[in-house]
Amino acid sequence: MRRLTLPEYTSMQSYSLCLTSVLDLDLKERLNGVSGFIEGVSNTYVDQARLGNVYSIPPLKHPKGEDPIVVADVRKSELIKLYGYHMVDRQPGRGLYDVILVSANEQCPFCGGIGRPKSLDHYLPKANYPQYAVLPQNLVPCCRDCNTEKSNALAATEDEQSIHPYFDDDKFFLEQWVFAKVNLTYPCSLEYFSQPPNEWGDVEKNRASNHFRDFNIGSRYSVQAADELSALVDLRRGYLSDISADEFSRYLASVSNSVSYFSNHWKRVMYQALAEDRNFYGAAL
């Protein structure tokens, strides 16, 4: 929904930074010993992400309750702890964590900024991909709602991948694929829906629609719009009561076209829908 700048830190910079606070000398030696593996698989991740194919990277599968070896003599839990203890809870790893978190400018990229990022989300979950636990390019600032709404199912096909804020094609961020229709109920409401452009390929259409569904964008956008719509109706009944229906429509369109809102921002889509619905702008509200 919102593009983020790709983190400048490399996999090895992040990995080495987190290793700094590891005090167990045996563990530190073993983790250092697999740094070449971590760098290699991290390069594979970036290459596949640029192609939109991270779904093709096989997950780690094992019986529940087991702690399998990922590579050499390093276990899954040890790589995950490198994130949870040495990146989230300890310096200097925490410094990198914070740099990535604030890069979103208080706007969650998955939901188009209606939520404020509170933590970093692993695009490929660390439970299934512990080798990417501290890979900066796999860590995305995320709000609590998106962390909750996101499906726990692993993408098995290209279509099922959520939009990657760092790597995906500009069309997902610059072209409009979220729209709304006006429900002239009492109170008036908006219903948001996904409608990717016809010229997009089937995979791109499915990915956008799946992202919209998986992060519950429609319902969450409607909630955001409710207060704004109520205030707008009051404005039309008061300060804007003397202007004609066509003038009101032009006013609504001007708000929609504001450069402050990106293509699929809930407010831009809202005012666009209202400006185009004569039953709304022409009604005696």
For residues 18 and 83, the answer to whether their CB atoms sit within 8 Å is: yes
Q: Half-sphere exposure of 151 toward its Cβ, with a 13 Å CA cutoff? A: 13
Residue 48's Cβ-count burial label (10 Å; 0-12, 13-18, 19+) is middle
The pTM assigned to this predicted structure is 0.93
Give the E-state strand segments of 210-277 in sequence order: none
Q: Half-sphere exposure of 13 toward its Cβ, with a 13 Å CA cutoff? A: 9
Q: In the block, which residue shows the tokens 């709404």?
A: 149
- How many angstroms separate the CA atoms of 28 and 30, rounded? 5
For residues 112 and 208, the answer to whether their CB atoms sit within 8 Å is: no
Q: In the block, which residue shows the tokens 């500009």?
A: 170
- Helix axis angle, 25-33 relative to 11-19, nearest 10°? 170
3-class DSSP assignment, residue 157: coil
Give mean pLDDT, residues 208-217.
Answer: 96
- 78-120 pLDDT per residue, tens: 999 999 999 999 999 999 999 999 999 999 999 999 999 999 9
Average pLDDT, the chain: 95
3-class DSSP assignment, residue 256: helix
- 245-254 pLDDT per residue, tens: 999 999 999 9
Pair of tokens at residue 221? 């956008």
Is pLDDT at 259 greater than 90 in this prediction?
no
The pLDDT of residue 184: 87
- How many angstroms separate the CA atoms of 274 and 252, rounded? 7
Q: In the block, which residue shows the tokens 């991290």?
A: 42
User: Cα Rg for the chain, rounded, in angstroms?
Assistant: 23
pLDDT band at residue 284 using 50, 70 and 90 as cut-offs = low
pLDDT band at residue 151 using 50, 70 and 90 as cut-offs = low
Is pLDDT at 149 greater than 90 in this prediction?
no
Give mean pLDDT, residues 257-281.
Answer: 94
Give mean pLDDT, residues 191-208.
Answer: 97
The pLDDT of residue 148: 85
